[in-house]
Amino acid sequence: MTAMGSTSLDLSAERTHRNLSTAELVERALIAGEGHLASNGAIMCLTGDRTGRSPKDKYLEDTPGIHDNIWWGTVNQPIEPAKFDDALAIATEHMNSRETRYVFEGWAGADPEHRLGVRVVTELAWHALFARTLFIEPGSNRDPFGQPWKHDWTVIAASKRRLTDEEQARFGVTSPVMIAQSLERKTIVILGTEYAGEIKKGIFYAMNYDMPDQGVFPMHCSANVAKNDDSNVALFFGLSGTGKTTLSADPERALIGDDEHGWGPKGVFNFEGGCYAKCINLTEEGEPQIWNAIKFGSALENMVLDPKTREPDFADSSITENTRVTYPVDYIPGAIIPSIGGHPKNVIFLTADAFGVMPPVSKLTPEQAMYYFINGYTSKLAGTEAGVTEPQPSFSPCFGGPFMPRRPGEYAGMLADRINQHGANVWLLNTGWTGGPYGEGSRFKLAYTRAMVSGILDGSLAGARFSPDPVFGLSIPDAVPGVPSEVLNPRDTWADKARYDEQAKKLAAMFRENDAKFEMPDEVRAAGPKG
């Protein structure tokens, strides 16, 4: 394939707006008709027909220099260098033809010793605002180190340029959307999707490849720290809907970050300068910190606004269930700025088990920690997708499979090394169902879940007495303050014990079917379910 057009971006000053302020970007977005101002001061923007990431349309340039390091498969789909050239040329030609372009130059990584310099080139002002919020502006309060900015990675967000039918045929694809990333050229090309999350996750993918070479373990997790003890750091790993953002936004603790972190030689640090929270059914009572962070400088995505009052309807999912809000991390009161903490004392894996068979809280051995981390389990619920009539397991390696270029065992090994070195306790917290599966049982009360988290974080649960779960081999505490004892053993909550046993063995078999996909030490595989 022959690349078309030029691959040199024209960033001449007269046509390029570089590192504009929040106010300037909001004003330009409103003037250009990219969004509307909500009653709370946030700008609300639509992302077109793509209201979430497009993982099936993402490709990684396959070169000899990186080939053997990549876990190739459905997540990491290869693209030939010539085709990457073509995608880059299409995006560059489109961006060069725009009357106005926006550039943000900043950092990914709050730790000045472990960070990447990021240049984001967009055609939409609100995408530049998104980048300004989610990355770290040099010289801002989030970056007090005075370190000269350096250019490592480039994101070209040609969001409105869709592939033509002829171009799709040339690439051998059937979608007008393409996200192409090159780890050697340190370039990300986004074509045909206005979903801003592609910008953020493309750089997270880059951090997941580059940081291990700097001795940093990259993690898809939130992090917070006790306000009265800066050594009491906690990590919350979890897939969508498990409570990662909700549980880390704790008024009694200081937020380090809500989504992406590194665990380096000195401790944990946020990769980002902002938060990107789901806000479907958001309420002030349920999540006051997030509610109050939605103000001028925040960007709402795909929300429905009342045409008269301009108030967002957080319960309206007519555009998408994946409504989002972006805001700077320092919009959360008491957030740690810069977003750097010590070594974690507790690591919490969050899962929403819709089968109703996993214990609400259990303490993991180092081998179990590696096993459950590699598998990254949660559930899809009936009705969420066409053809899903009963709960189905969803396994995402390392609780972030779509963003992991390397093999899951490599990340699990980094986690195990740090747990052993720093003596962190690891927990599995089930925020899903009890007393039966989804549709029959009930979801664990948030008050109970918060009581379990409190017991973990204040250290009291580590000294509890534990009993083994016969199917999953997990250590279940005999008592947790604030939680009824009959809730702790899932089998006790089912009226039909035989049906519980059947469902537990079914899920255990699904774990075993999934773990067969991975290379792992024998002792780690043996730490999985027994049933």
Mean pLDDT of the 385-393 span: 57
57-95 pLDDT, tens digit each: 999 999 999 999 999 998 999 999 999 999 999 999 999
150 has catalytic annotation? no
Q: Which residue out of 175, 240, 317, 454 is catalytically annotated?
A: 240
220 has catalytic annotation? yes
Domains of the chain: 16-216+268-331 (3.40.449.10), 343-525 (3.90.228.20)
pLDDT of residue 15: 86
Mean pLDDT of the 326-347 span: 96
pLDDT of residue 530: 86
pLDDT of residue 241: 74
28 has catalytic annotation? no
Q: Which residue out of 94, 244, 261, 407 is catalytically annotated?
A: 244
- Determine which of 6-10, 82-86, 166-170, 283-287 has the lowest per-residue pLDDT on average: 6-10
Q: Which residue out of 57, 111, 259, 330 is catalytically annotated?
A: 259
User: What count of other Cβ atoms lies within 10 Å of the Cβ of residue 519?
Assistant: 11
pLDDT of residue 2: 42
CA 249, chain centre distance (Å): 15
Mean pLDDT of the 457-471 span: 95
- Determine which of 243-252, 266-275, 419-428, 461-470 has the lowest per-residue pLDDT on average: 243-252
pLDDT of residue 1: 45
Q: How far apart are CA 413 and CA 408, in angstroms?
A: 9
- Which H or E run includes 503? helix 497-515
Mean pLDDT of the 123-132 span: 98
Higher pLDDT, 239 or 332: 332
pLDDT of residue 244: 86
Mean pLDDT of the 122-144 span: 97
pLDDT at 22 over 50: yes
Q: How far apart are CA 323 and CA 105, in angstroms?
A: 27
| pLDDT classification of 7: cutoffs 50, 70, 90 | low
pLDDT of residue 243: 83
151 has catalytic annotation? no
244 has catalytic annotation? yes
- Which H or E run includes 166? helix 165-171
| pLDDT classification of 384: cutoffs 50, 70, 90 | very low
Q: Which residue out of 58, 98, 220, 407 is catalytically annotated?
A: 220
What crossing angle do the helices spanning 366-375 and 408-422 adopt, rounded to 10°? 150
What crossing angle do the helices spanning 197-210 and 125-134 adopt, rounded to 10°? 40
Q: Which residue out of 28, 47, 53, 298 is catalytically annotated?
A: 53
472-518 pLDDT, tens digit each: 999 999 999 999 999 999 999 999 999 999 999 999 999 999 999 99
pLDDT of residue 393: 81
Q: With pLDDT > 90 as the criterion, what percentage of the chain qualifies?
A: 88
Q: Which residue out of 51, 187, 222, 245 is catalytically annotated?
A: 245
53 has catalytic annotation? yes
pTM of the model: 0.94
Report the chain's mean pLDDT, rounded to a whole number.
94
Short-list 17, 120, 43, CA closest to 325: 43
CA dihedral 294, 298, 301, 307 (to 10 degrees): 70
| DSSP result, 11-34 | --TTTEEES--HHHHHHHHHHTTS
CA 156, chain centre distance (Å): 21
Mean pLDDT of the 259-263 span: 96
Q: Which residue out of 98, 324, 345, 418 is catalytically annotated?
A: 324
pLDDT of residue 6: 53
186 has catalytic annotation? no
Q: Which residue out of 83, 161, 186, 201 is catalytically annotated?
A: 201
pLDDT of residue 390: 61
pLDDT of residue 385: 43
Residues 6 or more apart whose CB falls under 8 angstroms from that of 175 comprise 54, 56, 57, 163, 168, 192
Q: How far apart are CA 515 and CA 506, in angstroms?
A: 14
Mean pLDDT of the 86-111 span: 97
